[in-house]
C-alpha cells in the first residue's frame, strides 16, 4: 500500500504518479524504474501504467486488438480460450505455485467426514483429469497434495488419488452419503460442474452454492485457491493456512501430529533435512485427506505483441524482467 508518489523502499520501481491503499486507488498508477536499485543486473527497462478504471472486459478487448492495453492479469480459462483468435496479443501461461483444493467440513456437529476412510473415498470419487480438462479448459496440473510438481518439497513418488468411482461410491453409500453441498465462487462454476459429473458416477449428487464463502454448517466442501509466495517455506505459507490450529481455512479439529511436524520444520536448520521434512508433511496431509486435492491452476495473462512478459512462479506480478520490444513505446499499460 502506497499512499503517495516517492522512492519507497529498495525495490526495482518507484511510484511516479498515483496511489494505492487498501480501500482506494487512483484512476491510474505509474511505476518507473528505480535509478538507485541495488541489483544492476535486474534493472527494469520500461515504465508501467496501471489502469484502475477500465473494466477487465474492456481491457481484454483492447489488448486483443492491439489497443492501449498491453497486459491483462488473472484471466479465467474461458477468457484465455477467447484470446486464442487474436493476432495482436497472445496468452502467457505460468504454472505458478498455486493450488485449488476442496476444504472438507469437519467442524459441523457429528460431521460425517470425521472418518478418514470416508474422506479418502470422496477424493477417489473425483476425476481430477476431467476437472482440469473441462472445468479449467486444460489450464492446470493435477496435484497429489499441497506442493505443486517440481517445486520445493515435492515428492515424485507421491501420486494423486486414483479415480475409482465404483469403490468410492460403495464406501460413501455405506457412510450414508448420497449428496453433498459444494461452496464456491462463480468463477469456479465449470470446476464444480465437472466435479459433479464425476461424483454422479459414484452415486453422489452435488448441490452447488456459488456464494463463495460457506455459512453455517450445512455444507460439505468449500473450494479455496491459495498461493505460495515463498521460495522454500510452504509449511508457513500454505500448509498452516489449511491444517494448523490458527489456519484461516481450517475446517477440522486440531491435529496434534500436524502441529508436531510443523514445529519440527520450524526447528530444522539443515536445508536438506528441511526439504525432507516438508515432503513428509506433504505426504501426511495427502493421507489424512482433510481437503480434496484438485489441481494447480495456471496463472493466465493476456499480453500484447509489443511486450516481452516474464511471469513469476510465486504468482505475484513482478515486472523487472518484462520489457517493451524495440520500436515500441517504452511505456506499457497493465490491468
**How confident is the prediction for the chain on average, in pLDDT?**
92
Cβ neighbours, 10 Å, residue 20: 14
Average pLDDT over residues 174-182: 97
pLDDT tens track for 129-151: 999 999 999 999 999 999 999 89
Residue entry with cell 541489483: 39
Per the model's pLDDT, the better-predicted residue between 281 and 13 turns out to be 281
| Three-state DSSP state, 175 | coil
Burial class (CB in 10 A: 0-12, 13-18, 19+), 271: exposed
Where in the chain do CATH 3.10.105.10 domains reside? 98-297
* pLDDT computed for residue 241 by the predictor: 96
Residue entry with cell 501430529: 257
Where in the chain do CATH 3.40.190.10 domains reside? 13-92+300-334
Question: Directed axis angle between helix 271-288 and helix 256-267, to 10°?
Answer: 170
Asked if residue 221 lies in contact with residue 119, where contact means CB atoms within 8 angstroms, the answer is no
Q: What percent of the chain has pLDDT over 70?
A: 94
Q: Which range has the worst mean pLDDT, 12-16, 35-39, 305-309, 326-330?
A: 326-330
Question: What φ, ψ does residue 41 adopt, rounded to 5°?
Answer: -70, -15
pLDDT tens track for 300-318: 999 999 999 988 877 678 8
pTM above 0.85, yes or no: yes
Reply yes or no on whether the pLDDT at 34 is more than 80: yes
pLDDT tens track for 44-99: 988 999 888 889 999 999 999 999 999 999 999 999 999 989 999 999 999 989 99
Asked if residue 88 lies in contact with residue 304, where contact means CB atoms within 8 angstroms, the answer is yes
- Binned at pLDDT 50, 70 and 90, residue 6 comes out as low
Give residues with Cβ within 8 angstroms of 260, minimum separation 6.
none
Reply yes or no on whether the pLDDT at 173 is more than 90: yes
Distance from C-alpha of 261 to C-alpha of 272, rounded to nearest angstrom: 16
Which listed CATH number (1.10.357.10, 3.40.228.10, 3.40.190.10, 3.40.50.300) goes with 13-92+300-334? Answer: 3.40.190.10
What are the C-alpha distances in Å from 272 to residues 105, 151, 238?
A: 35, 14, 20
Q: What is the architecture of the domain spanning 98-297? A: Roll (3.10)
pLDDT tens track for 273-292: 999 999 999 999 999 999 99
* pLDDT computed for residue 103 by the predictor: 98
* pLDDT computed for residue 320 by the predictor: 86
- Binned at pLDDT 50, 70 and 90, residue 257 comes out as very high
Question: What φ, ψ does residue 117 adopt, rounded to 5°?
Answer: -65, -35
Q: Which three cell numbers stand for residue 272?
A: 536438506
- Binned at pLDDT 50, 70 and 90, residue 330 comes out as low
Amino acid at each position: 500500500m502506497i499512499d503517495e508518489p516517492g522512492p519507497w523502499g529498495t525495490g526495482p520501481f518507484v511510484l511516479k504518479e498515483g496511489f494505492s491503499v487498501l480501500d482506494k486507488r487512483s484512476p491510474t498508477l505509474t511505476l518507473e524504474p528505480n535509478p538507485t536499485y541495488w541489483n544492476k543486473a535486474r534493472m527494469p527497462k520500461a515504465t508501467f501504467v496501471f489502469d484502475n478504471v477500465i473494466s477487465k472486459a474492456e481491457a481484454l478487448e483492447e489488448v486483443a486488438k492491439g489497443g492501449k492495453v498491453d497486459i491483462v492479469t488473472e484471466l479465467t480459462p474461458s477468457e484465455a480460450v477467447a484470446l486464442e483468435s487474436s493476432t495482436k496479443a497472445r496468452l502467457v501461461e505460468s504454472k505458478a505455485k498455486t493450488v485449488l483444493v476442496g476444504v472438507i467440513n469437519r467442524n459441523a456437529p457429528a460431521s460425517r467426514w470425521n472418518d478418514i476412510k470416508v474422506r479418502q473415498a470422496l477424493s477417489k470419487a473425483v476425476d481430477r483429469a476431467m476437472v482440469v480438462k473441462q472445468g479449467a479448459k486444460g489450464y492446470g496440473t493435477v496435484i497429489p497434495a499441497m506442493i505443486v510438481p517440481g517445486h520445493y518439497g515435492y515428492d515424485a513418488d507421491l501420486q494423486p488419488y486414483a479415480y475409482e468411482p465404483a469403490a468410492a461410491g460403495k464406501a460413501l453409500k455405506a457412510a450414508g452419503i448420497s449428496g453433498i453441498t459444494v461452496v464456491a465462487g462463480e468463477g469456479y462454476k465449470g470446476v464444480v460442474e465437472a466435479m459433479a459429473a464425476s461424483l454422479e458416477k459414484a452415486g453422489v449428487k452435488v448441490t452447488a452454492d456459488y456464494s463463495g464463502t460457506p455459512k453455517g454448517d450445512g455444507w460439505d466442501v468449500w473450494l479455496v485457491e491459495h498461493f505460495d509466495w515463498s521460495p522454500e517455506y510452504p509449511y508457513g505459507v500454505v500448509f498452516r493456512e489449511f491444517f494448523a490450529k490458527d489456519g484461516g481455512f481450517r475446517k477440522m479439529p486440531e491435529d496434534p501430529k500436524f502441529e508436531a511436524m510443523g514445529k519440527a520444520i520450524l526447528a530444522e536448520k539443515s536445508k536438506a533435512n528441511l526439504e525432507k521434512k516438508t515432503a513428509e508433511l506433504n505426504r501426511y496431509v495427502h493421507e489424512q485427506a482433510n481437503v480434496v486435492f484438485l489441481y494447480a491452476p495456471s496463472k493466465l495473462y493476456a499480453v500484447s505483441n509489443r511486450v516481452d512478459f516474464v511471469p513469476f512462479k510465486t504468482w505475484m506480478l513482478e515486472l523487472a524482467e518484462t520489457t517493451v520490444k524495440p520500436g515500441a513505446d517504452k511505456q506499457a499499460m497493465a490491468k
